[in-house]
Amino acid sequence: MTDHNSAIQVTVWNENRHEKKNPKVAAIYPQGIHGAIAAALSAESGLAVRTATLDEPEHGLTQAVLDGTDVLIWWGHMAHHDVRDEIVERVKKRVHAGMGLIVLHSGHYSKIFKALMGTACSLKWRESTDKERLWVVNPAHPVAAGLPGHFELPFEEMYGEPFAIPAPDELVFISWFTGGEVFRSGAAWQRGCGRVFYFRPGHETYPTYHDANIQRVIANAVRWARPAANLADIHPPRPEACAPLEPLPPDPGAAERPAIGHR
Amino acid sequence: MTDHNSAIQVTVWNENRHEKKNPKVAAIYPQGIHGAIAAALSAESGLAVRTATLDEPEHGLTQAVLDGTDVLIWWGHMAHHDVRDEIVERVKKRVHAGMGLIVLHSGHYSKIFKALMGTACSLKWRESTDKERLWVVNPAHPVAAGLPGHFELPFEEMYGEPFAIPAPDELVFISWFTGGEVFRSGAAWQRGCGRVFYFRPGHETYPTYHDANIQRVIANAVRWARPAANLADIHPPRPEACAPLEPLPPDPGAAERPAIGHR
Amino acid sequence: MTDHNSAIQVTVWNENRHEKKNPKVAAIYPQGIHGAIAAALSAESGLAVRTATLDEPEHGLTQAVLDGTDVLIWWGHMAHHDVRDEIVERVKKRVHAGMGLIVLHSGHYSKIFKALMGTACSLKWRESTDKERLWVVNPAHPVAAGLPGHFELPFEEMYGEPFAIPAPDELVFISWFTGGEVFRSGAAWQRGCGRVFYFRPGHETYPTYHDANIQRVIANAVRWARPAANLADIHPPRPEACAPLEPLPPDPGAAERPAIGHR
Amino acid sequence: MTDHNSAIQVTVWNENRHEKKNPKVAAIYPQGIHGAIAAALSAESGLAVRTATLDEPEHGLTQAVLDGTDVLIWWGHMAHHDVRDEIVERVKKRVHAGMGLIVLHSGHYSKIFKALMGTACSLKWRESTDKERLWVVNPAHPVAAGLPGHFELPFEEMYGEPFAIPAPDELVFISWFTGGEVFRSGAAWQRGCGRVFYFRPGHETYPTYHDANIQRVIANAVRWARPAANLADIHPPRPEACAPLEPLPPDPGAAERPAIGHR
């Protein structure tokens, strides 16, 4: 079993393109969105935080990095298609094996999120001056720990329903927007042995990741998404042949039937 | 809205390879597994049934066929990898748009099922002389209509837990096997606007699809999986920009901010 | 199996107290809230509608009435405590046996809804001039059939989160309110063999039940909540002793052990 | 927030009647079933364990005891009806406020479990020589931590489907019985702010609670069911009036409308 006294290994992944192209974004996030999130998480006890970005070799997500990651945070937007399919597959397998995954904002449309959900993950959106108010609909959920009943972001991109996701295993937040929309903005699923949390806020042109409540949610989600146990090998990567535990009835077609494990 | 007095358009898809290679399978299913299932469904009122197989052009699943299909039934096993990715993508989009999908037996490991589930869909298995007994755990579910509390297949391949699927939206059947295993053998999910039902029995070397209870389940599942409504366009295929319904606060950064819909 | 060509037997129950005490309510609903809902449902094909109210003998919900009811609609507010416990128990058993139940607005705090949910069913509220906008979050759900992506009520009582309900089996609507709140306003659960739908709008001082979209939702919910099958006896009312289907191992303590069915 | 370095306060409740009446049960559990469970939990780190039984004043469940309990374990069978309704109500409110509840075996038919589920909780049963084999269907669930893929009890009472419960939020174990039945034997729900786990094994005439795997499950469930946070006041016990956060539209009927909070 995982030693829960050891640090949680967190990798914050960011495509890191807006920061390079848009001075306004660079001004808000001089260390990148990944840098801002990593800095906030590093102030928490019990977390060991590193970052990775799209333009690093293997997008910074080598097998070794993933094997050493308990929880991966994902921010992407304009460059989803530049993420190589084999890296997406590698991340997916690691989630199946137990790694937690926290998908932020426009990551709803990342290859990895769509692959884990099995749906289009489409939504309505508007980049304007909406205020977003997030309501906690499940105050007992660990991701809502320490939060008030609702909290606000003075300006955010709007995302609206219908959000084409599978029904969440757990719904934690619903957002209200000035312009008249609602959104399931904090939702959780299990995929294989891994926990997945989607958290809506975080458009690159707003200082959302400097907000204390947003930082609280992400830190809570990291702790919630940590694998509960040493999960190596518990979900076999392939169908697994097995022998009976109890006596079987006689085989009426024994002569014709191929032996167990023939395929 | 769909006219529910019109026939449900069903397409039964089968890879149809075992039937060609293994005389034992051909003896059990002289018209193929697809033929046996289609014959049983054709005896039901209100269903219009056709078949499609792997080795037809576009696997028999042209866009026109899929657009005219309300519910697709899928049987595959030894040739999952021969199914072309673009056809899988086409089926997936049609499920998202509302088409029902019924995945049978070894279809747990088909590309389309794995793509819709987002998990490995792995399991334990044994091809031997197990008896399978299916228990109805949700007697009120439409897929269980007209069935006894449990029913049996004298010989079937065993599938055992853990079955690496997302938690089903609805669980209808659990199987008991002589050799000591259990399996969630009838499970339902929604993906986009489409309903998906997985039903476990149906190994090619047993006459499972000639069994009246199995035929009852498949016919029930077809009726349950029928789209509830005319679903065209209700799930946008891409994120959708939209204008506010309510007045927005003034824009503090209007000069710098790009217009709505810029991306 | 239920003959789905026969009419669905609907009973609309209302406590009918506001209508008697408050002339404003009586002006909006001269035939009572139950009368307005029944009139709208009677215009639908395939429904046979009757009403029942609190002050009738046995609240109009005799065993015979319930046995002849496929779907019961419930509106109550100021007189929840006047509903007799044995009638609540009778309704609960009938839901368990398959009757659909549609709980409206302040019925969130009725004895029957709380008994079926197992939670406090508390919420925030404000009786003021809020506009309510209902968003369809699951456009494929039968209860949303024929509705636009969102629809509005110009004035309604506000209900806000957290709504202390179990996680819905299915979430269909989320409401947005002018005053800044959100609410899971259309939610579904199964309890025993019966389907339960909670639908938020309907404060007595607004003409909500005269609204065409609201009437559409209620009619859809009636069709969705209809029992799928003849459910008599499928859920035993008590634990049920049963004999083994397979040979059991020898009994090491046969002499001491009481016979099956001893309790 | 709860200090997660402090001990989890566990109360093991038992009706403790079989132990007094049946020498065979007393021989297996000389300190009572509660004593056996408490002894096993006391060997775990971080748990502070006490017991309570039916025949103590207030069944040992005074408000003070419940207020000091993080997780309550419940075993009852022959005396469900002797549990006073006001104590059941007290336990239910405490679960809603965040206390974890672990219901064992025949507790499926206790007043508290039925009240939290909202269903009949009926099932099939047989007291004979069945072997029970429990399969882990969700290996990543914290309640399954440290367990093998399956484990056995050489003799147990059989419980069979359909088990009349709401669809579990999470399903962890499914049991296989020699006599041919299956059962959802480990299932989780949230009710209000509290987590509820039902665990099937534990008939009084078998030494089930001396089994190491069973003890592991119960200890895991205690840790899983611990409240995540200081939950005081987050779920209002009654509907809560609130003022708008945003400007409301003018009130067309201001003169006639009663003020907020009038009821």
Q: Is residue C257 part of a domain?
A: no
Query: What band does A1 get if pLDDT is binned at 50, 70 and 90?
Result: very low
Residue D186 in contact with partner chain A when CB distance is under 8 A: no
pLDDT tens column, A229-244: 655 545 555 678 889 9
> D88 lies in a domain?
yes
Q: How many CB atoms lie within 10 A of CB A1?
A: 10
DSSP-derived 3-state class of residue B202: coil
pLDDT digits (tens, 9 = 90+) for D180-234: 999 999 999 999 999 999 999 999 999 999 999 999 999 999 999 998 765 554 5
Mutation test of the interface with chain A: which of B119, B130, B246, choosing the one with the most A Cβ atoms within 10 A? Answer: B119
- For residue B239, the model assigns a pLDDT of 74
Q: What is the pLDDT, as a whole number, of residue D261?
A: 41
**B82-110 residue pLDDT tens:** 999 999 999 999 999 999 999 999 999 99
> What is the DSSP secondary structure assignment for residue C141, as one 8-state letter?
S
Structure confidence at residue B250 (pLDDT): 84
Q: Say how many CA atoms lie within 13 Å of C57 toward its Cβ.
A: 4
DSSP 3-state assignment of A147? coil
pLDDT of residue C250: 83
Contacts of A62 (CB under 8 A, 6+ apart): none
Tell me whether B163 touches chain D (CB under 8 Å): yes
Residues of chain D with pLDDT under 50: 1-2, 233, 259-263
Confidence at residue A263, expressed as pLDDT on a 0 to 100 scale: 38
Residue A146 lies in a domain: no
How confident is residue C189, by pLDDT bands cut at 50, 70 and 90? very high
Q: Does residue A260 surpass a pLDDT of 50?
A: no
Does pLDDT of A2 surpass 50? no
pLDDT of C234 > 70? The answer is no
- What pLDDT, on the 0 to 100 scale, is given for residue D234? 55
CATH code at position B106: 3.40.50.880
Residue C74 has pLDDT above 70, yes or no: yes
Contact: C190, D167; criterion CB under 8 Å? yes
Subunit contact C231:B140, Cβ cutoff 8 A = yes
Query: Helix, strand or coil for residue B108?
Result: helix
Q: What pLDDT is attached to residue A228?
A: 73
User: What pLDDT is recorded for position C175?
Assistant: 98
CB of B23 within 8 Å of any CB in chain A?
A: no
Closest in B1, B146, B229 to C1, CB measured: B146
pLDDT of residue A240: 81
pLDDT of amino acid C34: 98
Q: Supply the pLDDT for residue A231.
A: 57
**Considering the domain boundaries, does residue A43 fall inside one?**
yes
pLDDT value, residue C55: 98
Residue C233 confidence (pLDDT) above 60: no
Q: What is the mean pLDDT of chain A?
A: 92
In chain C, whose CA is at the least distance from the CA of D240? C124
Over residues C193-230, the pLDDT tens digits come to 999 999 999 999 999 999 999 999 999 999 999 987 65
Q: Cα dihedral sign for B216, B217, B218, B224?
A: positive
pLDDT value at residue B186: 98
B neighbours by CB contacts (3+ pairs under 8 Å): A, C, D
Phi/psi of residue D113, each to 5°?
-70, -45
Tell me how many domains chain B contains: 1
Record: contact A119-B191, CB cut-off 8 A = yes
Residue A233 has a pLDDT of: 46
Range of the domain at B58: 8-118+185-236
Within-domain flag for D127: no
- Angstroms from A227 CA to nearest CA on chain D: 8
The answer to whether the Cβ–Cβ distance between C190 and B138 falls below 8 Å is yes
Q: Is D146 part of any domain? A: no
Residues of D in contact with A142 (CB under 8 A): 228-229
Across the interface, of C96, C117, C260, the residue whose CB is closest to D127 is C260
Examine residue D128 and state whether it is found in any structural domain, yes or no.
no
Q: How far apart are the first and last CA of chain D?
A: 34
Among B189, B191, B231, most A C-beta atoms within 10 A, so best to mutate, is B191
Which structure tokens are listed for C184? 């899971």
Q: How confident is the model at residue A170 (pLDDT cuts 50, 70, 90)?
A: very high
Listing DSSP states for B109-123 in one string gives GSHHHHHHH-S----
State the sign of the Cα–Cα–Cα–Cα dihedral C196, C199, C203, C204. negative
Cα distance between residue A182 and residue A159, in whole Å = 8
Put simply, the chain B residues between 218 and 237 with a CB less than 8 A from any chain A CB are 234-237
Instruction: Write down the pLDDT at residue C263.
Output: 38
Find the residue in B nearest to C151 (Cα): B245
Handedness of CA D30, D31, D37, D40 (dihedral sign): negative
Per the CB < 8 Å rule, is A142 touching D229?
A: yes
- Give the residue among A81, A96, A107, A79 at the shortest CA–CA distance from A12: A107
Least confident of A60-69, C140-149, C254-263: C254-263
User: Tens digits of per-residue pLDDT, C125-149?
Assistant: 999 999 999 999 999 999 999 999 9
pLDDT at C254 over 70: no
- B134, part of any domain: no
What pLDDT sits at residue A250? Answer: 83
Is C252's pLDDT higher than 80?
no
Unique residue bearing structure tokens 């990543």: D140
Low-confidence spans in chain B with pLDDT less than 50? 1-2, 233, 259-263
For residue D226, what pLDDT is reported?
94
Please state whether beta strands B47-53 and B8-14 pair in parallel, antiparallel, or not at all (unpaired): parallel
3 state DSSP class of B1: coil
